[in-house]
Amino acid sequence: MGIRILLHISLVMIFSPLLLGIAGKTKAFFAGRRGPPLLQPYYDIGKLFRKGNVYSPTTTWIFQAAPIVSMAAVLVSSIVIPMGSIEAPLEFWGDVILFTGLYALARFFVVIAALDTGSSFEGMGASREAAFSCLAEIIVFLDFITLALLSQTFVLSEMIKGNILSSWQLFGPALLLAGASYFLVFLTENARIPVDDPATHLELTMIHEAMVLDHSGWDLAYILYGSAIKLFVLGALFVNILIPFHGLSVVMQTVFFWGGMMMLAVGLGIVESCMARLRLNRIPQLLISAFVLALVGLFVVLIKGV
Amino acid sequence: MWLELALISIVFLGIVILGNNRLGTMIQLFALQSLVLSATPLLVYPGRHAVVMAIVTIILKVFLMPSLLFWAIRHVAIRREAQPLIGYGTTLLLGGFLMGVVFLISSNLDLPVQETSNLLVPSAFSMVMIGFLLLISRFQAITQVIGYLVMENGIFLFALLLLENTPLLVEMGILLDIFVAVLVMGIVVNHINQEFGSASTINLTNLKD
């Protein structure tokens, strides 16, 4: 058990920055540049870990704890997600709530750390993050309800692998709607275009980046690593739902899962290259559309009966 | 399976139309929705009747009406909805709520004919509701025309239930009616624009001596 969890977590830790690298390479390709090397996120994180920290005298222990807590929370959330042929090491009735709860915990700590600095700029970012993620959370829960109805279980790893193949045959449209709404949440939670631009700094419209401006050194490394892991875990959930590979041979499962993750990173790069960031007051509208899509997906499942 | 996919994409496009504020995009989305719609008769009752329906729908709703609407917005030179009566977010939420009601009602509906798919009636009703919502929540005359057309798409879907029992002539008559209606609306929009300098229907509520 312990070994399996360690293995799972180390796999997530090893591969998660790679997705950011692939997305960055795709964006560079679309812009006609060579772009940073694929392993650039690893170099960035390694560089930050070698640096010292600077703390403002107005901050308290919360500011120092937040990066570690947030990264630990998203890392723990990965152990309820199966990765290809590797089963989830931990599964129990209702771990869906744990999964979303851990994200709420991570977000809570980042937000209060941003408030802890006393900077009005970071407070603004924190309020935006809190507002948008409270809209996004409802959508995730609606999608989970749809999946739970389809699979008749409340265990996350069984929800996404149990009978997802037969669900696709019977309830394909509903799953497509749930998948589309989940993808929008995926973009929101990871602060990607069209919701937030991860590449900008010091701009009045940004959300996530504004909150972590005061972090430096290994604290910033934890934040960066945490967001890479978040991208990986939420993406793994998406790939598990979208590609029903469970029940195939071990090799095929591995190929499909990791191939799907690569495709997701490339897709993310394509979305980021083709779209402009939305104006801030249009983001709630995007999330409400995602909410309505998730709602209709749920209606479809309800009306067709499970 | 394919029918349900088509129905869901029609509903999806309806939601996107509801949340959009650019008239050009709205018209394009409507054309796309009509394209998906034209495939539905073939999926419900494959046959000669359905093929004719599909072809006529494509000609009228995918090419003629959108180009007419594009001509109208070029003439009145408006690109986006200026001030909707209800905000976009609220409209979307209302749309979601209405769809919930519709799904609830249509599951208890007693229909005289056998349904091909139990998603057909809810999605038809949803389109009618979205069309109504567009009609009442927007001021621009063009948006209201699009709302009317979306509503008509819903009615078209609903009529699919009776496709086998309806003579082709009646269907053609309905489609021609709609085409003429859109033509007239395009002219009316132009006149509103000439009279008031904008195509907002809010001007029509003012009294004038």
The helix/strand/coil state of B22 is strand
Question: E strands, A226-282, where?
Answer: none
Which residue segment(s) compose the domain that B65 sits in? 2-109+116-205
**pLDDT tens-place string over residues A107-137:** 999 999 999 998 888 888 899 999 999 899 9
**pLDDT tens-place string over residues A15-53:** 999 999 999 999 999 999 998 999 999 999 999 999 999
Task: Indicate which of A165, A283, A288, A306 best probes the interface with B, i.e. most B CBs within 10 Å of its own CB.
Answer: A288
DSSP state of A281: G
Give B51→chain A minimum CA distance, Å: 25
Say which amino acid occupies A150. Answer: L
User: Alpha helix (H) ranges present in A190-249?
Assistant: 208-211, 217-242
- And the tokens for A173? 């449209």
User: How far, in Å, are B142, B143, B198 from residue B195 at the CA level?
Assistant: 16, 19, 8
d(CA A81, CA A78): 5
Instruction: Count how many domains chain B has.
Output: 1
Check residue B82 and give its pLDDT: 65
Give B58→chain A minimum CA distance, Å: 24
Is B15 within 8 Å of A296 when comparing Cβ atoms?
yes
Of A296, A303, A304, the CB nearest to B11: A296
Instruction: Assess contact for A196 and A277: CB atoms under 8 A.
Output: yes
CA angle B12, B129, B6 (to 5 degrees): 30
Is A300 within 8 Å of B8 when comparing Cβ atoms?
yes
B140 bridge partner residues: B200
B110 phi/psi in degrees, rounded to 5: -100, 110
The domain limits of chain A are 2-304
Instruction: Assess contact for A54 and A111: CB atoms under 8 A.
Output: no
Instruction: Assess contact for A288 and A296: CB atoms under 8 A.
Output: no
Omega before B84 cis (within 30°)?
A: no
Of B7, B8, B15, the CB nearest to A292: B15
Of A288, A300, A303, the CB nearest to B93: A288
Is A300 within 8 Å of B88 when comparing Cβ atoms?
no
**pLDDT tens-place string over residues A45-87:** 999 999 999 998 999 999 999 999 999 999 999 999 988 888 8
d(CA A80, CA A103): 13
Low-confidence ranges of chain B (pLDDT < 70): 81-82, 208-209
Of all residues in chain A, the one with the smallest CA distance to B6 is A173
**pLDDT tens-place string over residues B101-118:** 998 888 787 777 777 777
**pLDDT tens-place string over residues A205-258:** 678 888 888 898 899 999 999 999 999 999 999 998 888 887 788 898 899 999
Is A291 within 8 Å of B96 when comparing Cβ atoms?
yes
Summary mean pLDDT of chain A:
89
Q: Which residues of B touch A289 (CB under 8 A)?
A: 15-16, 19, 92
Q: Which of A142, A178, A151 shows the shortest CA–CA distance to A91?
A: A151
B162/A145: higher pLDDT: A145
